[in-house]
Structure 1
Amino acid sequence: MAIVYDKLLNWSFPDLEHRYTAKDTILYALGLGCGIDPLDRGDLAYVYEAGLKVLPSMAVVLGYPGFWLKDPATGADWVKVLHGEQSIRIHVPLAPSGTVIGRSKVDAIVDKGPGRGALLYSSRRIIDKASGTLLATVSQTTFLRGDGGFGGPSGPVKEPFAVPDDRAPDLVAARRTAANTALIYRLSGDFNPLHADPDVAAKAGFKAPILHGLASLGVATRALVDAVAGNDPTRLKALDLRFTAPVYPGETIATEIWRTDEAAVFAFRGRVVERDLICLGNGRVEIAQA
């Protein structure tokens, strides 16, 4: 079955109500490796209910519609789907608990041609159920590797943010993940067996289950909040990045950060220290002034 452009572009998503508690917020942070060092008081704020803080990247797991492209009616070859890029916009800081509505939609589909696949741009608005306040908008680019040549538009294609490659980073913040990080992170809602079952990982060509891309994003977010926002997660206003390589649980992600001409904007990328490999690229983060 092939993609039908109009059908996929107008895919209907029901509003998804999501109630979460302080326990869910703590579990999300534990799934990023927060608390590996029990004496790290900066991390403690995200994994201990007394004065609990919320990492802004938690928006990616709220109101999540699941792996909807696996539905045969989409026409997509779901086995070849890759998560390419992710953006987060925080409009109001997230509370440690609450009930939200996730409202998803497909924004655009770009046909790159036969043999080249397609790009699907989608977004989700996360709305506080009680007040109707828009809390966050999360957007992603999905690469449909097996679905080009269906006769859709060839553009526009989102241009990635350029990270400086002519000078060393101004700051580097390294954070180690634990060997069981993926097994914890999946409890926040992404149960793809690729991140848990060694046999599934081997069939996909990996030596072991890999860390979720959005977990790698969360690790970088935690590093950025600490390095450029004074460990105040409410100051992070926006974040964009591209996924460039998988991370294995237990590896260390070094977030390399550059100042830009805009005082409130930093460029960044993530490097797997053990393999000297870029896992997150084209990163941009916007921080509110203190």
Structure 2
Amino acid sequence: MSNELTLLALGRGSDRVDEAWARSGQVTSIVRFERAAPSGVRFGKRVFGIAVDSLLLASKARLRHRNERFLCANPWIAVALRAVGLSAHAVTGLYAVPGTNSWKLLRRSLRNTPIVTTAEIEAEQWVDQGGKATAVLYGNTFKYPVAARSSEVPTIFIGGTSDRDADLIDSLIDEVRSDTQNVRLLVADGSGARIWTGEQAEIEHFGRVSSEEFGRIMSTSSVVFLPILNKPRASGHMVCVGALECGLPVVSSECTGMDGYVDGEFVTYLDPMTSIVTQLIERAAESPDSLQIIEFWEDNFSLNAYVGRVLAAVDKLTALP
């Protein structure tokens, strides 16, 4: 049987991403619904946006590609395929927690469909309930600029909103606002543009920014901090990978969703018993240089590395009885 796959994805494509999948020799066609809601929100709710966009993509696949084998870039596309009388060969991503309505719907719809997750805990939970899944490390190539890391003032970056620990962020902000250390804190969480300036410290918040601007802001920092809630699902991976691409060290709060990503040298865990800001300043000063971090990213977390891992995992899962 041919191992050729058609990738189904939501949102606008890019030559960089499409070429990475095409180079694999296994993905021979990519079908997208390019007018998908950028944030997944329609009619005021994310669930409606994902459902509508996935159904439109599935209908497009049924009309023009119905005899092909589909690799779905998120599980809701696979659910929509079933609704139009087709099935997925395999799925990447899960993003659901046992016991939730999302989880129950996915279990009913996907059953034994092979799923490749980016968090070990998600794969373990799916297998425990009778599903077929394995985990691979997420990777991507965002084309973010290389960080200079030459500023005399240590600069800490926090970005993203999903599963972020608001209490931990507030604790760091309070430490910075105590104004006892020379440090800058950049917070790209879409909460609105504003700046606080003390005698030694500075905090700058940003409103909603594009992916390109997010990477540019990140690249002006010295260290990236991931204050993540300890939930049993993938979280923080995109920011972590983007930081490594910039050549920046990453410090994460302890979280099961980051298992496999924290290597102890380029990505480390926060010590909850000591000062957050002091740890981050020390990490910025003592971490490997940017070229070493970028080499680590290229080998382990680039888009090419990720595509190779996903397709190897799909082959392994689909060979199982």
TM-score by length of 1: 0.27
Where is the helix percentage greater, Structure 1 or Structure 2?
2
Bigger radius of gyration? 2
Q: Which has the higher contact order (CA 8 A, sep 6+)?
A: 1
TM normalised by structure 2 equals 0.25
Looking at secondary structure, tell me which structure has more strand per residue.
Answer: 1
